[in-house]
């Protein structure tokens, strides 16, 4: 993998921030976009733009082909059986909310259980809290090991015959833990529960095969994988999606409308009320092409090497605490530096052109589990280099020096 | 952007040695405020007698800017009337956006002037002052 050639394709990376060349270490929050994605969106608006699924005219057909072509690319990316199983959404949050509002509310009742983990992002936590409140179902949490990983014995203990839904993040946005989704899915299915996967941090960085995992639902966002914001998708097994009611009603999603009742289109369109995010879907299709051309296995290998390098180099910094497992982690490192609050750290790094995330990472329960109020996080993608890591480590040393002096 | 403009020695002193950190009894006006975007949180307590803030204390977690700002604010509002405290909160909000403002008796606050050049950090500095406003609203 030629990183320099890859970096050339990301215009945003080639600028100075506060007088220093940009080091972007916040791709877990949102990735940067390659020229091919930016151009695809631009070209769509310049040449093909129209509404989808209704135009008799040529532009309408082109827009529809572009939109449905992107759906097929998502199907192939996830290895879903049919494009009917791919519903475009605004992102992971909307996708998970769709499963919660439609499927979960119809199957959960008093005394039923929804099983989660304490490492969930708020988007895979609050929708289920709302389902529990509305239906009388109980939330249960698979406990975490000291390094933040899950143990299969604990998964087996937590899931019971009363469990209707198990919803777990594939890759933790804080700990970098990669969860054994296939094993958890098998356990969930043994108890008759459905498996939902939050794929926000896995889809951009590794090959995903929903049929191999055998999960029932899988959600992800485009903007973390080189696509524009505002587009993502939900995969659902066809037989489940077919029994689900839409949650948004209006144009695009109807079959026949009467004054007092209406019927819905077939899958996947019954879940896509209103004019969809067509240009976003086109951008997502271009992002999938871009990632496939490099190869997701190649990207995973590069990130693994870089993360190992970063973990080792960061471990050498005095007064640093790194959260999550040492081995088998995804491409991010979450940490704290003694006596320097993460916001202060992020500000100092920003003055040196280095962008990291500081805060609770939309995972407040996990922050409490870690017994911190916030942390700093450096996250990596295909365009990051060892030099980026070196710049980060040097800046951490300078920050410690600065605050050591300032605090006195 | 110069870091020394932001992290003045006075700020780091209030951060390291916060004034009025602690709690007051149950009669005190108590305000809990979070900064949901970053996880900072503050509990501010005001002991109000008649129309006067006799004492202000805080607990919480946050960065050097939010905690030093809380420390300075609790010093500044002591023995002020609710009206004076509110006026000071308004003055602070213009100040933190970069307006030229002086805090005669409480010149430590002026050390926060550099924050206006770091837009992402303004909400850190205003957390304690927003808690103060809320407390005054509750009282009147």
Note whether A15 and A95 are same-domain residues.
no
pLDDT of residue B74: 97
- What pLDDT digit, counting tens, does each position of A150-187 carry? 999 999 999 999 999 999 999 999 999 999 999 999 99
Answer whether residue B115 shows pLDDT above 60.
yes
Calculate how close chain B gets to A121, using CA atoms only, in Å: 14
Verify that A233 and A360 share a domain, yes or no.
no
Portion of chain A with pLDDT greater than 90, in percent: 94
The number of folded domains in chain A is 2
Same domain, A184 and A324: no
What CATH number corresponds to the domain at position A310? 3.90.1150.10
pLDDT tens digits, A46-101: 999 999 987 789 999 999 999 999 999 999 999 999 999 999 999 999 999 999 99
pLDDT of residue A252: 87
What are the domain boundaries of chain B? 3-138
Indicate whether A194 and A283 sit together in one domain.
yes
- Whether residue A408 is contained in a domain is answered as no
Query: For the ranges A161-175, A316-330, B27-41, B85-99, which has the lowest average pLDDT?
Result: B27-41
Taking CB atoms and an 8 Å limit, are B62 and A343 in contact across chains? yes
Cβ neighbours of B63 in A, within 8 Å: 341-344
pLDDT value of residue B1: 62
- Residue B72 CA, chain-centre distance (Å), reads 6
On whether both A147 and A241 belong to a single domain, the answer is yes
Say whether both A88 and A195 belong to one domain. yes
Q: What DSSP state is assigned to residue B97? A: T
Range of the domain at A202: 38-293
Report pLDDT for A406. 55
**Domain co-membership, A133 together with A209:** yes
Domain stop point among A293, A328, A352: A293
CB contact under 8 A, B39 and A406: no
CA nearest neighbour of A148 among A174, A185, A123, A186: A174
Active site residues of A: 362
Quick one: A323 and A353 in the same domain?
yes
Residue A60: Cβ within 10 Å count:
17
Looking at the structure, do residues A287 and A305 belong to the same domain, yes or no?
no
In a domain, A161, yes or no: yes
Mean pLDDT, to the nearest integer, of B72-95? 96
Residue with tokens 């008759």: A192
CATH 3.90.1010.10 matches B3-138: yes
Q: Is residue A355 part of a domain?
A: yes
| B8/chain A closest Cα distance in angstroms | 8
Q: What is the pLDDT of residue B105?
A: 85
Q: Which of A260, A293, A326 is the last residue of a domain?
A: A293
Task: List pLDDT tens digits, range A334-350.
Answer: 999 998 999 999 999 99
**Contacting residues for A88 by C-beta, under 8 A, at least 6 apart:** A70, A71, A231, A232, A233, A268, A272, A276, A277, A281
Residue A407 lies in a domain: no
Same domain, A197 and A160: yes
DSSP letters spanning A9-61: T-GGGSSEETTEE-EE-BTTT-----HHHHHHHHHIIIII-S-SS---SHHHH
Whether residue A265 sits in one domain with residue A304:
no
- Which residues on B lie below 8 Å from A126 (Cβ)? none
Residue A171 counted as domain residue: yes
Which string of b and e fits B67-91 if b means at least 16 CB within 10 Å?
A: bbbbbbbbbbbbebebeebbebbeb
* A172 and A130 belong to one structural domain: yes
Interval A365-395: pLDDT, tens: 999 999 998 999 999 999 999 999 999 999 9
Question: Best-predicted range by mean pLDDT among A56-60, A227-231, B95-99?
Answer: A227-231
pTM for the full predicted model = 0.94
A141 part of a folded domain: yes
Measured between CB atoms, which of B1, B37, B40 is closest to A351?
A: B1
Does residue A192 sit within a domain?
yes
């Amino acid at each position: 993998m030629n990183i320099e050639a890859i970096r050339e394709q990301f215009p945003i990376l080639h600028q100075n921030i506060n007088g220093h060349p940009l080091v972007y270490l916040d791709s877990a929050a949102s990735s940067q976009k390659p020229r091919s994605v930016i151009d695809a969106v631009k070209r769509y608006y310049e040449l093909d733009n129209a509404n989808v699924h209704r135009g008799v005219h040529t532009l309408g057909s082109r827009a529809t082909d572009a939109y449905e072509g992107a759906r097929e690319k998502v199907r192939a990316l996830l290895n879903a059986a049919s494009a009917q199983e791919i519903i475009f959404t605004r992102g992971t949050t909307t996708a998970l909310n769709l499963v919660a509002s439609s499927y979960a509310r119809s199957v959960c009742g008093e005394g039923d259980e929804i099983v989660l983990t304490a490492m969930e992002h708020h988007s895979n936590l609050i929708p289920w809290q709302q389902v529990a409140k509305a239906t009388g179902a109980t939330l249960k949490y698979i406990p975490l090991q000291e390094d933040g990983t899950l143990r299969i014995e604990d998964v087996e203990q937590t899931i019971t015959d009363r469990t209707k839904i198990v919803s777990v993040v594939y890759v933790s946005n804080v700990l970098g833990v990669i969860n054994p989704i296939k094993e958890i899915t098998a356990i969930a299915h043994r108890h008759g529960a459905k498996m939902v996967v939050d794929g926000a941090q896995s889809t951009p960085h590794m090959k995903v095969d929903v049929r191999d995992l055998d999960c029932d639902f899988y959600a992800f966002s485009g903007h973390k994988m080189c696509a524009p914001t505002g587009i993502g998708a939900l995969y659902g097994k066809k037989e489940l999606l077919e029994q689900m009611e839409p949650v948004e009603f209006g144009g695009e999603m109807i079959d026949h409308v009467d004054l007092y009742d209406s019927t819905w289109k077939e899958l996947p369109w019954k879940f896509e009320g209103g004019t969809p995010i067509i240009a976003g879907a086109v951008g997502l299709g271009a992002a999938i092409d871009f990632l496939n051309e490099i190869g997701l296995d190649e990207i995973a290998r590069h990130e693994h090497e870089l993360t190992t390098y970063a973990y080792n180099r960061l471990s050498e910094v005095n007064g640093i605490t790194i959260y999550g497992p040492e081995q088998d982690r995804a491409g991010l490192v979450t940490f704290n530096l003694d006596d320097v609050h993460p916001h202060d750290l992020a500000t100092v790094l920003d003055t040196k052109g280095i962008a990291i995330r500081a805060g609770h990472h939309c995972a407040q329960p996990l922050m409490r589990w870690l017994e911190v109020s916030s942390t700093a996080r450096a996250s990596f993608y295909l365009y990051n280099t060892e030099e980026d890591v070196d710049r980060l480590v040097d800046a951490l040393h300078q920050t410690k020096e600065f605050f050591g002096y300032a605090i006195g | 952007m110069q870091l020394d403009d932001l992290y003045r020695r006075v700020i780091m002193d209030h951060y390291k040695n916060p004034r009025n950190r602690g709690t007051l009894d149950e009669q005190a006006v108590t305000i809990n405020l979070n900064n949901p975007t970053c996880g900072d949180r503050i509990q501010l307590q005001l002991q109000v007698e008649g129309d006067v803030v006799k004492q202000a204390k805080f607990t919480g977690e946050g960065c050097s800017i939010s905690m030093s700002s809380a420390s300075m604010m609790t010093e500044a509002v002591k023995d002020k009337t609710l009206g004076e405290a509110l006026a000071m909160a308004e003055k602070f909000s213009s100040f933190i956006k970069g307006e030229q403002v002086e805090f005669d008796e409480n010149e430590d606050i002026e050390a926060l002037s550099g924050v206006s050049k770091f837009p992402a950090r303004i909400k850190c500095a205003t957390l304690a002052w927003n808690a103060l406003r809320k407390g005054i609203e509750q009282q009147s």
